[in-house]
Amino acid sequence: MFRLRRFLKDYKLQLIIGPICKLIEAVFEIFIPLITADIIDNGVRNNDVGYVLQKGGLMVLLGALGLGFALVCQKLSSIASQGFGTKVRNAMFRHINSFSHNELDKIGTPSLITRMTNDINRLQLAVAMLIRLVIRAPFLVIGALIMAMMIDLRLSLIFFAASVLIALVLFIIMNRSVPFYKRIQKNLDTVSLISRENLSGNRVIRAFGRQKNDEERFDEKNRELAKTAVTAGRLSALLNPLTYVIAQAAIIAIVWFGAGLVFVGELKTGEIIALVNYMTQILLAMIVVSNLVVVFTNASASAARVNEVFDTQPSVVEKNNAAPRQVEGAPCIEFKDVSFGYSGNGHALKDISFTIEKGSVTGIIGGTGSGKSTLVNLIPRFYDTSEGEVLVDGVNVKDYSFAQLRKRIGTVPQKAELFSGTIRDNMRLGKKDASDEEIEKALKVSQSYEFVSKLPEKLDKVISAGGKNLSGGQRQRLTIARALVPEPEILILDDSASALDFATDAALRKALHDETQGMTVIMVSQRVGTVRYADKIIVLDGGELAGIGTHNELFNSCEVYREICLSQLKAEEAEN
């Protein structure tokens, strides 16, 4: 947690004044038993009602002042803790947005969500407790011990013995329960992962009738979480009875030995009552300390998880320099001896070299897992190559800033992802000031205009998160339109027409050819019909380059391409 102190630098006033207010409240609380003793020994004993009312009024005044200081501390702790949480959450969100796909794949979306919500909430609670109770609780214990010593040094030994025993119980129980609290956090990640998979893939689960299996899977992990939480809870539950037993035994000892001292006149009755109250204060303060240990233990585990995110540095680093000068006559895109591998999974691409000319249409085809999506993800630099280099207009993509590079590239990912908001909002994602005419042009090219124009709201149609209120084909066409609105120099279609029927697919390809003159188009697909009329087709097999050429050239010379063609078309169709 100490490493996160930088997020508290704007709340130094709250961190100083808050504990001081709580300390003043604790001072008032320390004096209450002494006033109570005074009322009993000098007011009640002498039947002096005026004295009782006078001291009683003082107690009310101290209580009111203590309440006022406590409320001030409460407000200051809320400002500091909520502000701290907001700053950490914003900083983490910004840092996560700097991650490449590699880091996002490594940590995982469910874990990142848990860290941004549950873990930061725990840290907020720790900051609030730091201001409100960290000084107050130890002060009450120490203050009560000092007051007991001032009343009677011999009976104060009981306080010391009880305090040591209570502290020992706290240490033993906390030492045993801390590992379980850390395990709870990991179990929460797993439950979050299963929940997210179930909710995002609910239609697939229903289609395969796997609801029962998913419920059992969730129930198993949820029971595991509950079992760990119950174990930690059982250990923590021992705190109250054990500490109360020790405290009550101490109170009995105080009353027992104190009665003898009262009998011989060495103590007064009110002082015995004060000692009992101080013992109760110590007990309550020790219980608060035990709760603080739990809070800070959880916060420590959460801080480690939050710091792990901050410590994770993006593997793809941006260069904030002036736009590099394009090399005249260079191909639009060039791969030079490119190899790439995901973390711990070997090479997904091996020694890939090819060029793509400006304004051409290039198809990329291959079997499942051949590296098609991986290859095109290297162009906008979602990943960095392990070996070799990717050039755009003769310049290494690493020499561009992200904004410079990605402004020139329109990417339509394999999974059609739309965001909550209107169709117009989604279309303006790449160009904030795009006019309705520009949007309609992109909709017509992507074959979306027909169904959008029939909607009562047209461009104002509200899309739910993920585009769940649209069909798969509609989502794909709208994501293609979104990429076309900024009129990029390079358009990458990563198997983005897989949900379209053959007629719509053909109409889309024709519109792209007619309306995007000068734009370099890369079409990734497993359909031969989608790529066969491309100016150049790149065939991948197991991450390696199996062939480059036109449809006819590859059908006659590339065995991999020929097999793909014959698996989808009749021999006569493939040859024509």
3-state helix/strand/coil string of 177-196: HHHHHHHHHHHHHHHHHHHH
Do 290 and 339 share a domain, yes or no? no
Q: Are 547 and 558 spatial neighbours (Cβ–Cβ below 8 Å)?
A: yes
> 382-434: per-residue pLDDT in tens?
888 888 999 999 889 888 888 888 888 988 888 888 888 898 998 998 888 88
- Both 303 and 342 in one domain: the answer is no
- Same domain? 451 vs 488: yes
194 versus 450: the higher-pLDDT residue is 450
Rounded (10°) CA dihedral 197, 203, 205, 211: 100
Asked if the model's pLDDT at residue 510 lies above 80, the reply is yes
pTM of model > 0.85: no
Mean pLDDT, the chain, whole residue set = 84
CA distance 43 to 40: 6
Phi-psi region of 454 (alpha: psi -120 to 50; beta: other; left: phi over 0): alpha
Give the domain-ending residue among 261, 277, 311.
311
Tens-digit pLDDT profile for residues 85-102: 999 999 999 999 888 888
62 and 200 part of one domain? yes
**Cα(559)–Cα(471) distance, integer angstroms:** 36
- Whether 526 is in a domain gets the answer yes
Question: Sorting pLDDT into bands at 50, 70 and 90, what band is 294?
Answer: confident
Per the domain annotation, does 326 fall within a domain? no
Backbone angles phi, psi at 354, to 5 degrees: -170, 170
Residue 149 belongs to a domain = yes
Are 210 and 294 contained in the same domain? yes
What is the tally of structural domains in the chain? 2
pLDDT(321) > 70: no
Which residues span the domain enclosing 436?
A: 333-575
* Domain-ending residue, one of 247, 278, 311: 311
The alpha carbon of 187 is separated from its chain's Cα centroid by a whole number of angstroms, namely 15
Give yes or no: residues 524 and 571 share one domain. yes
- Residue 569 inside a domain? The answer is yes
Distance CA 188, CA 110 (A): 10
- On whether both 285 and 170 belong to a single domain, the answer is yes
The CATH number of residue 299's host domain is: 1.20.1560.10
Look up the CATH number of the domain holding residue 476.
Answer: 3.40.50.300
Final residue of a domain: which of 311, 341, 370? Answer: 311
For residue range 186-208, list pLDDT tens digits in order.
787 777 777 777 766 666 667 67
459 lies in the same domain as 516: yes
Whether residues 307 and 379 fall in one domain:
no
pLDDT in tens, 88-140: 999 999 999 888 888 887 887 777 888 888 889 989 999 999 888 888 888 88
Hey, which residues does 549 pair with through a beta bridge?
537
269 found inside a domain: yes
The answer to whether residue 509 is domain-embedded is: yes
Q: Are residues 189 and 271 in the same domain?
A: yes
Residue 220, pLDDT score: 81
For residues 476 and 532, membership in a common domain is answered with yes
| Same domain assignment for residues 251 and 375 | no
